[in-house]
Amino acid sequence: MAREIAGMSVLVTGGGSGIGEGVVARLAGLGARVTVSGRREHRVAAVAERTGARAAAGDVTVPDDRRSMVDAAVEHGGGLDAVVHAAGNMYRGPIEELTRQGLQDVFASNVIGPMLLTGLAAPHLAERRGAVVFFGSVHTVRAFPGASPYAATKGALETLTGALAAELGPRGVRVGCVRPGGVLTEINQRAGLMDDATAAARMTALGAEHALGRAGTPDEVAEAVQYLITAEWVTGALLTVDGGLGLGITGA
């Protein structure tokens, strides 16, 4: 049986923009007590103001910040029912040009920080038989040349979902992963890869590669997050929500 989202305490990292912002808006709109995090305080504060969520700005790669995000969510919601790891960064480039620092940074924000944050949250989640949601990517099933660092982090997240589901299942904690297709957000622009107009044009072109002929919206991905948080007998699941982009349709 699915649980009610209303009244749940949910921590959303990377909630100051894009898909994370969509998750905050959807869950808060359904009556969850949401705590929103991200590094840019003004973005986190604006989302909190608009949705009624609690702002707890911070960086998932910083130990004190991870602790204060979890503490804020536990305090705001009277416990913790779910952590949604929407924090993430793009790093791409030809293999000859990748740097050690760039690779360490993208793994720190996309994989290592979220794993350590999950460890901090686990005792609280166990008290409420809660859930953890990661974001994989269509990059794990369709090859985007030059995007090997990002794809590698997403492959790690999709894989660790199963291992953590097995580890935390006996304590009643469910672990899931949403694999989105193309959604126009600011992830490439924040990485300095393109401007807004180029990102929009690229997403329109990529839209045609989806079976449904268009890119998705943050709320369409947030719907899947809601499902994974509330579905009582679902764990270790990788939920593809990609408009058919991952099918790799060929016209030949």
Ligand X SMILES: NC(=O)c1ccc[n+]([C@@H]2O[C@H](COP(=O)([O-])OP(=O)(O)OC[C@H]3O[C@@H](n4cnc5c(N)ncnc54)[C@H](OP(=O)(O)O)[C@@H]3O)[C@@H](O)[C@H]2O)c1
Residues known to be catalytic: 150
183 secondary structure, DSSP code = B
Question: Closest distance between ligand X and the C-beta of residue 242, in Å?
Answer: 8
Q: In 3D, which of 95, 230, 77 has the Cα closest to residue 150? A: 95
194 touches 202 (CB < 8 A): yes
Looking at the Cβ atoms of 127 and 223, the one nearer to ligand X is 223
d(CA 227, CA 22): 14
7 touches 33 (CB < 8 A): yes
Q: Which residue is nearest to ligand X (CB)?
A: 18
Question: Closest distance between ligand X and the C-beta of residue 62, in Å?
Answer: 8
> What HEC string does 47-83 produce?
HHHHHCCEECCCCCCCHHHHHHHHHHHHHHHCCCCEE
- Which residues make up the interface to ligand X (CB under 6 A)? 13-14, 16-20, 38-40, 43, 59-61, 86-89, 109, 113, 135, 137, 180, 182-183, 185-187, 190
Question: Closest distance between ligand X and the C-beta of residue 12, in Å?
Answer: 10
d(CA 85, CA 177): 9
Looking at the Cβ atoms of 126 and 199, the one nearer to ligand X is 199
Question: Closest distance between ligand X and the C-beta of residue 111, in Å?
Answer: 10
Looking at the Cβ atoms of 76 and 85, the one nearer to ligand X is 85
Looking at the Cβ atoms of 6 and 99, the one nearer to ligand X is 99
